Amino acid sequence: MPDGVIVKALSGYYYVKPLENGKAVGSAEAVQCRARGIFKKRGTSPLVGDHVVYSLTENGEGMVDEIKPRRSELIRPPVANAELAVLLFSVREPDLNLSLLDKFLVHIEHSGLETIICLTKQDLLAADTDAQDPVMAVKELYERIGYEVLVTSSRSGLGSSELKERLTGVISVFSGQSGVGKSSLLNRLVPGLSLETSAISMRLGRGKHTTRHVELIELDNGGFVADTPGFSQLDFLELGVEELSTCFREFAPYAELCKFRGCSHTHEPGCKVIEAKESGDIASSRYEHYVQFYTEMKEKKRRY
């Protein structure tokens, strides 16, 4: 029976792209499949990104017979076998929101994926030299922490080739705040794709949702990109409050030196994370967002 990768799930159907030797067959059309009832009995279901074994049925469709072991599994968006998260945040329209960026980074750190921060719409700063320095400062801040940061423009093509090279041969997840230009960037990476884009609501400062379901978009370098619905809100329901500090990677070398085991890094005497923040070794914005998220999680825990 042939192998394939699920590139779209919609209305109970799974669209499976044939694979040969683990690579997508470029010219082959995706096969519309149903999943065997055994998956439901086991309490599982196929996900976009799953490598599967499928069989062809008489009506030209197919049946998903087996789901191969997953390397990773995201709950939101529901994608299997992703290795890389590309977090897209615009420098203008909407303005760069570092609190939301840090919230996304917490979720990605918790999921164990590699991360690229992609700052989009650089062309909107082209004539505004005063705005360039803060963007470069943000780039330097996150690179110092250890993140890869690309500055891009879908209009000019800035950064597109570097990004596409990083997507070679892996399933990557594109996500970020609504209206930051995910679809525009994907259209630039995959000529002829023509994903629907939307104008920004200037009153709300955010875009209308144009992506309705998770779908893998095939690149010509063996990679797949999961174009996912935009988010303007994230919560921490799947993350324990005691895990939060481990999702701020720059805290690690200091947290292990704290005076108290289980230090929350919010008020304890002898907290090396607080000392590092005060000495400038941990950025104030990152620490403030940590405290903000910690407080938010504690309040939700009490509520539930």
CB atoms within 10 A of CB 168: 12
**What pTM was computed for the model?**
0.82
CA atoms of 79 and 215, how far apart (whole Å): 9
Q: What is the pLDDT of residue 135?
A: 82
**Which residue is listed with tokens 């998956």?**
39
**Which residue is listed with tokens 């705040």?**
177
Annotated binding site: 120-123, 176-184, 258, 263, 265, 271
* CATH architecture of structural domain 3-69: Beta Barrel (2.40)
Annotated binding site for GTP: 120-123, 176-184
CA atoms of 30 and 130, how far apart (whole Å): 49
* CATH architecture of structural domain 79-227: 3-Layer(aba) Sandwich (3.40)
CA atoms of 189 and 186, how far apart (whole Å): 5
Annotated binding site for Zn(2+): 258, 263, 265, 271
CA atoms of 89 and 182, how far apart (whole Å): 9
pLDDT in tens, 161-184: 999 999 999 999 888 777 777 777
Percent of the chain predicted with pLDDT > 90: 47
pLDDT in tens, 130-168: 555 778 889 999 999 999 999 887 777 788 899 999 999
Please report which confidence band the pLDDT of residue 205 belongs to, taking 50, 70 and 90 as the band edges: very low
Residue 199: closest CA among 184, 187, 189, 188: 184
Q: CATH homologous superfamily of domain 241-303?
A: Probable gtpase engc; domain 3 (1.10.40.50)
CA atoms of 112 and 108, how far apart (whole Å): 6
Residue-range domain boundaries for the chain:
3-69, 79-227, 241-303
- Contact indicator for 88, 185 with CB cutoff of 8 Å: yes
Say yes or no to pLDDT of 206 above 70.
Answer: no
- The DSSP-derived string for 170-189 is SEEEEEEBTTSSHHHHHHHH
pLDDT in tens, 239-270: 889 999 999 999 999 999 999 999 999 999 99
